[in-house]
Structure 1
Amino acid sequence: MCYHCAPAAGAAGTATSRRSFARFLAAGAGLTVLAACTPAAPEPVAPSSASPAASPSPSVTPATTTAEGTAAAPPPPEASPTPSPSLALPRQLSLTDPSSPWLVVNKHRPLVPADYVPADLVQPAIATTASGESALLNSTTAAAAEAMFAAAAQEGVAMVLASGYRSYGTQVATYNGYVASRGQADADTASARPGYSEHQTGWAFDIADGGGACSFQPCFADQPAAVWVKANGHRFGFVVRYPWMFHPITGYYYEPWHLRYIGVEAATDMVSRGIFTLEEYFAVDAAPGYL
C-alpha cells in the first residue's frame, strides 16, 4: 500500500476545489458589479398635494352680433314726449271737440265732422265790415270780442270785425278760388282746405282797423289795431294764431289779423311762458303741410 499516493490525490482534489470556489467568487463578484452598474428604475412619484387645482374658466356672455359680424349696440332709450305746458292749468279741455275752446285745427288735424256747424252762432255787438254768416261767431267768442273791442276803443284804438264764421260750403268756394288764381301749392299757404279752417269753428275771426289800412296785408302788423291786440288780446282770451316766422309749425305765414279764442287762462299762460303757437302750447305735432 502506498501511503504517499493518497495524500497526493487529496491535495490535488483540494486544490481543484479551491480553484472552483475562487471562480465562483469571481463570478459572483462580476454579477455584483453588473448589478451595481445597472440604473435603478425610477420610483413612481405621488402627486403633490401642494400642486394648485386647475381654475375653472370664467363664463363669458356672447355679444349680440349683426349679420355683418359686428357687435350690435343696445338700442337707445326712447325719448319721453314733451309734456304739454297747458297741463299746468287746473282745468283741462278737449283738443279735438269742435265745441271746445282748446280745439286745435291745422293741416294735420281736420274738423270732425268736416261739415261741423256751431250750435250757438250769434252776431256780436261790435263794428263790422262783414255781412251774412261772416258776421257771426259762437256765443263765447262773441262775448269776449265785445269786451275786447270796448277796451280798445277806450284807449283810442279802432278795430272792426272783417271776417268771422265761414261754413264748410263757403270754405269750398274760398279755397277753390285761391287754387284757380294761384295754384294749389300757393293756395295751401294762404287758405285752409275745406274742413280744416278755424273760421268754421266759430272760435276765430279776422280784424281790420277802422280805416281799412293794410287789410289782410303783412303791413297790418304795424297798424294800431294789430299792435294793440298783440299786446292785450290775451286779457280777453285771444292769441294771434299765425305769428311771424312760425309757419313751419302752423303751416301759414304771418297773419296779424287772425285772432283765435282759447280762454283768458290759457291765453295768459301762453304769453307768460313766451309760447307763440297752439301746437307748442298743447304739445301737438307741427303741421307745415297736409298729410
Structure 2
Amino acid sequence: MAALAACTPESTVPSPVAANAASGEASASTAPPTAVATDLAPAGGGEQETPSASAAPPSTAPSSSAPSSAVVPQHSLTDPTSPWVIVNKHRPLSPQDFVPADLVQPNIRLAVSGEAALVISTTAAAAEKLFSAAATEGVIMTLASGYRSYSTQVATYGGYVASTGQAAADRASARPGHSEHQTGWSFDIADGGGACSFQPCFAEQPAAVWAKANAHKFGFVVRYPWMFHDTTGYFYESWHLRYIGVEAATDMASRGIATLEEYFGLEAAPDYL
C-alpha cells in the first residue's frame, strides 16, 4: 500500500527486524491556549489533498472553520514531557533518544505486551476513561501499540531501508527520533474483534467511528486525519490517538481544526528537511 504511515506495526515490517513496543509517560494539565510560548514555530499549515484510493477509505473532506491566526500555546511545543509537544518530519524529539520517566501499563484491554503495552501515566488515566466510556456504549477497544523506544524505531526503520530503500522507508515508517509513540503521549487502538487493524478499512470499524466522534471528550485527537497528509506527513491513521488534554482537544473539535500543526500555527511537514 502506497500510503504514508507513522504507526506501522511490526507484523507489516518487510524485513526480519522485529519492531518491539515500548512505553511512555506524561503529566501536566492542559488548558486552553492563553500564554505566549517562546518556542512557537512560524505560522504555516497545510493544504488539503486527497490521497490515493489505497491510502484511505472513501470519505468526505472535512471543511475547516479554523481561524487564520496561530493559536498561542500555554505548554512547550518542544519539550517531550509537554502534552503539547509537536513531533513530525520537521520537528524531531530533543533529545532524539528521549525516554519517558513514568511509563505504566493502563488498566484497559491489551492486544500487545512488553513496552508496546505502556504509555505515560497521564495518557494511561485518560485512556482508561475513554475505553470505559466506549464500553458502556457497546464499543470494545484494545490497545494495539503504545510506547515505542528509540532503539525499537531504529530497528523498525532500518528494516524498511534495508528492504525497500530510504525513499520508500520514509513513506512507511518514521525515522528514529521522529515517532510520536516515543513520547508516551500517543497510542494506537484496535477494534475488540480485531477487524482491519492498521488498515484503511479500520476507519469504518466501531472503535474508530466512536473514537473519531468522542475522543476529544477525554483529551485525545486523531493525530493523522483524513486528507491532511500534506500537513502532517502521513496519510489517514484512524487508529492513532494523541493526548493533548480535554480543553485543547475540545477546542480543536469545536473550531473544526484538524491538525496540531494548524492549531499551533506551525508549518506543514510533509517531508523531512
Fold in common (TM above 0.5)? yes
Corresponding residue number in structure 1 for 2:107: 125
Equivalent position amino acid for 1:259 in 2: L
> 1:182: Cα distance to partner?
3.1
Q: How does 1:205-284 map to 2 (within 5 A)?
A: 205-284=187-266
Helix, strand or coil at the partner of 1:162? strand
Corresponding residue number in structure 2 for 1:191: 173
- Give 2:133's match in structure 1, choosing from 125, 130, 151: 151
Q: Which runs of 5+ in 2 are unaligned?
A: 1-41, 44-67
Specify the structure having the higher radius of gyration (Cα): 1
Q: Is the 8 A contact 1:189 1:253 kept in 2?
A: no
TM-score w.r.t. length of structure 2: 0.74
Equivalent position amino acid for 2:223 in 1: R
Q: How does 1:1-291 map to 2 (within 5 A)?
A: 83-86=69-72, 92-291=74-273
- Deviation by residue 1:209-239 (Cα, 9 ceiling, x = unmatched): 0111100000000000000000000000000
> 1:135: Cα distance to partner?
0.4
What RMSD over aligned residues (CA atoms) do the two structures have, in Å? 1.3
- Deviation by residue 1:4-62 (Cα, 9 ceiling, x = unmatched): xxxxxxxxxxxxxxxxxxxxxxxxxxxxxxxxxxxxxxxxxxxxxxxxxxxxxxxxxxx
Corresponding residue number in structure 1 for 2:49: none
> 1:191: Cα distance to partner?
1.2
Equivalent position amino acid for 1:84 in 2: A
Q: Is the 8 A contact 1:190 1:253 kept in 2?
A: no
Q: Is the 8 A contact 1:242 1:255 kept in 2?
A: yes
Give me the whole-angstrom Cα distance separating, in 2, the residues matched to 1:224 and 1:194.
32
Helix, strand or coil at the partner of 2:106? coil
Equivalent position amino acid for 1:261 in 2: Y
Q: Is the 8 A contact 1:138 1:203 kept in 2?
A: yes
Helix, strand or coil at the partner of 1:248? helix
Give me the whole-angstrom Cα distance separating, in 2, the residues matched to 1:229 and 1:128.
17
TM-score w.r.t. length of structure 1: 0.70
Give me the whole-angstrom Cα distance separating, in 2, the residues matched to 1:155 and 1:133.
29
Q: Which runs of 5+ in 1 are unaligned?
A: 1-79
Give me the whole-angstrom Cα distance separating, in 1, the residues matched to 2:101 and 2:91.
21
Does 1 or 2 have the higher relative contact order (CA < 8 Å, sep 6+)? 2
> 1:85: Cα distance to partner?
2.7
> 1:86: Cα distance to partner?
4.8
Q: Is the 8 A contact 1:179 1:187 kept in 2?
A: yes
Quick one: percent identity of the two aligned structures?
76
> 1:133: Cα distance to partner?
0.6
Equivalent position amino acid for 1:244 in 2: W
Helix, strand or coil at the partner of 2:189? strand
Helix, strand or coil at the partner of 1:85? coil
Give me the whole-angstrom Cα distance separating, in 1, the residues matched to 2:225 and 2:242.
12
> 1:178: Cα distance to partner?
2.1
Corresponding residue number in structure 1 for 2:32: none
